[in-house]
Structure 1
Amino acid sequence: MENDPIAARLGAVYPELPPGERAVVRVLLDDYPFAALGSLRALAERAGVSPPTASRLFDRLGFGGFAAFQAAVRHGARDRSQLLEHVAGPTNLGQAAEDLRAGLDGTLAAVPESLCDKVAALLAEARTVWALGGPLSELAAEYLIRQLASLRPGAHRVPGPAPARARTVLDLGPSDVVVAYDFRRYSPGTARFVRAAHERGARLVLVTDAWGSPLAAQAEVLISLPREASGPIAPLAHEIAVTELLLVAAAALLAPTRRLADLEELTRSLS
């Protein structure tokens, strides 16, 4: 999808669209090109909007209607299929490495020092820090907590089962911080926990993409990352890189030399 001009066009116009048309674009990009190949009514229902709202998107894009948009998507899909027949073979690892490098540069540029410092202060001063993510981004949340727990007490992964999550939310308040990693396709479980925590007054650090996580309005600190990748692999490296920056900034505030020394000694004695 990353090399498809129509998908790129949808992504480029997304920030300028009204909310209803944004919802249609999210459905299209989440399931591209297949979401574009059904009926207009089916697409509108998936996006939670009316057919006229969905239709306005394709007029705005200059296609003159949904049928012309579908034809362009089908034509592009056929061209890509023919191209793949010619280039099928070993993955171009050199290009993948270049794409990863460029993606990391863009990701790090999206997190200026002032933003890192703001998150670091929350991580250092909170009574407790809780982190969670979706099916893949939960790995970044796990990494954050494993490292942060070495720097300070009270750093925890949000548990999975609903009863355990309820007990966690029960004790949250304004002195607690939730760090959520939320990327397309956005996790309903993450949204439910974050909204419940927000109602209790917990403060939210949201690491997300540029497509507009439904949790963005509740975030005290919002970190929006580009999500470039080569091929079908989601770029977890970007999330880990940003997490590293936040941890380094937090460590500078916490000065955990004594704690780390005690941790190392205890680890040796328990091994």
Structure 2
Amino acid sequence: MTQHLGERLRLQFEQLTPNEQKVAGFILDHFEDIAVYSASELASLSGVSKATVSRLFRRLGFESFSEVREHMRTLRYNGVPLVTDSGALGSGLERFQRHFERERDNLHQMLAAIDAETFDAVIAALDRAPEVLVIGYRNGYPAALHLRQQLMQVRPGVRLAPQPGQSLGEELIDVRPGTVAIVMGFRRRAHGFQALLKELGAAEVETLLIGDPSLAVSHVSSTWRLECPLDSVSAFDSYTPVMSLINLLANALLHARLKDGRARIETISGAYDRLNELD
């Protein structure tokens, strides 16, 4: 991701004129709302001329304020939580309707993009694999944790990596050929993401990559790929499609091995009872 507006302002702040510093300070204090304002509004709120605002943006490498807006939209696409429309959430009952419509559209987009043959191939691989390794960093970690919990009720040999506070090296060294790795790859991915996939490929591991549409331009390789739109009505990403996909994968695997899956669920339930773990 290229150096964003806030970083450019901080790096050059001391070299700015006093009036340019007024604009820069206002932008840094209201960074998440910057795309909401026009150049004239920025000038008025900062107490400077519009020419000063234009001069500042040119100093920072932008030809126009529209280019700044496009830059902010790109940041949001890459996962930076920014408010790009102050009225996007709505108010009262309207906010619930807007939220519902966005969630519905994300789910529809995700399911419409899944190829049935690809999905069946994933389930068949999860059924026959000697081991399933679920990997997730950052926002992908809770999704990976939940997926592991669901899959381990259906079949044995499901591991989660990395363990809290640990790195991946020791987790990958004993991976066996034929293992299926499910890798969560959502935007603002950790450094080394491509190296991880390359390492899995070298270990003859089949890889299911679950991520957002930004994966399409990230040049990463995997055996299969399933995309989950994360857009919401405002700044923070929605992981509803991810959880829905996890539910679909777990249920499909259970039905692929229904006899063994039922027996395993019953065994786990018996362990709950003996340990008196659940009400």
TM-score interval w.r.t. the shorter chain?
Answer: 0.5 to 0.7
1:116–1:245 Cα contact (<8 Å) kept: no
1:145–1:155 Cα contact (<8 Å) kept: yes
2:209 counterpart residue number: 206
Q: Aligned ranges for residues 217-232 of structure 1 at < 5 Å?
A: 217-232=220-235
2:127 counterpart residue number: 124
Gaps of 5+ in 2: 12-60, 73-82
1:182–1:206 Cα contact (<8 Å) kept: yes
The answer to whether the aligner puts 1:158 opposite 2:161 as a matched pair is yes
Matched residues, percent identical? 18
Q: Secondary structure at the match of 1:233?
A: coil
1:266 counterpart residue number: 271
1:177–1:202 Cα contact (<8 Å) kept: yes
Q: 1:167 aligns with which of 163, 170, 188?
A: 170
Cα distance in 2 for residues equivalent to 1:82 and 1:110 = 27
- Are residues 162 and 95 of structure 1, via their aligned partners in 2, closer, same or farther at CA, if it must alter by over 3 Å? closer
Residue identity matched to 1:132: I
1:172–1:200 Cα contact (<8 Å) kept: yes
CA drift of 1:163 comes to 6.3
Deviates more, 1:91-100 or 1:231-240: 91-100
Cα distance in 2 for residues equivalent to 1:92 and 1:215 = 33
Please list the CA deviations of residues 182-206 of structure 1 after superposition, one character each: whole Å capped at 9, or x if unmatched. Answer: 0111122544443333222211110
Please list the CA deviations of residues 22-72 of structure 1 after superposition, one character each: whole Å capped at 9, or x if unmatched. Answer: xxxx548xx5x6589899xxxxxxxxxxxxxxxxxxxxxxxxxx744x421
Cα distance in 2 for residues equivalent to 1:83 and 1:231 = 7
1:106 counterpart residue number: 109
Residue identity matched to 1:254: R
- Are residues 191 and 213 of structure 1, via their aligned partners in 2, closer, same or farther at CA, if it must alter by over 3 Å? farther
1:131–1:179 Cα contact (<8 Å) kept: yes
RMSD: 3.6
Residue identity matched to 1:134: Y
TM-score, length basis structure 1 = 0.67
Cα distance in 1 for residues equivalent to 2:213 and 2:88 = 33
Q: Secondary structure at the match of 1:171?
A: coil
Q: Secondary structure at the match of 1:180?
A: strand
Alignment size in residue pairs: 215
CA drift of 1:179 comes to 0.3
TM-score, length basis structure 2 = 0.65
Q: Secondary structure at the match of 2:86?
A: helix
Q: Secondary structure at the match of 2:168?
A: helix
Cα distance in 1 for residues equivalent to 2:237 and 2:137 = 12
2:199 counterpart residue number: 196
Q: 1:71 aligns with which of 60, 65, 69?
A: 65
Q: 1:253 aligns with which of 235, 256, 259?
A: 256
- Are residues 186 and 164 of structure 1, via their aligned partners in 2, closer, same or farther at CA, if it must alter by over 3 Å? closer
Residue identity matched to 2:274: S
Cα distance in 2 for residues equivalent to 1:168 and 1:77 = 38
Q: Aligned ranges for residues 228-239 of structure 1 at < 5 Å?
A: 228-239=231-242
Q: Secondary structure at the match of 2:215?
A: coil
2:183–2:210 Cα contact (<8 Å) kept: yes
Please list the CA deviations of residues 108-167 of structure 1 after superposition, one character each: whole Å capped at 9, or x if unmatched. Answer: 212233222111111111111011223112111111110110101000111236866323
**Structure index of larger Rg:** 2
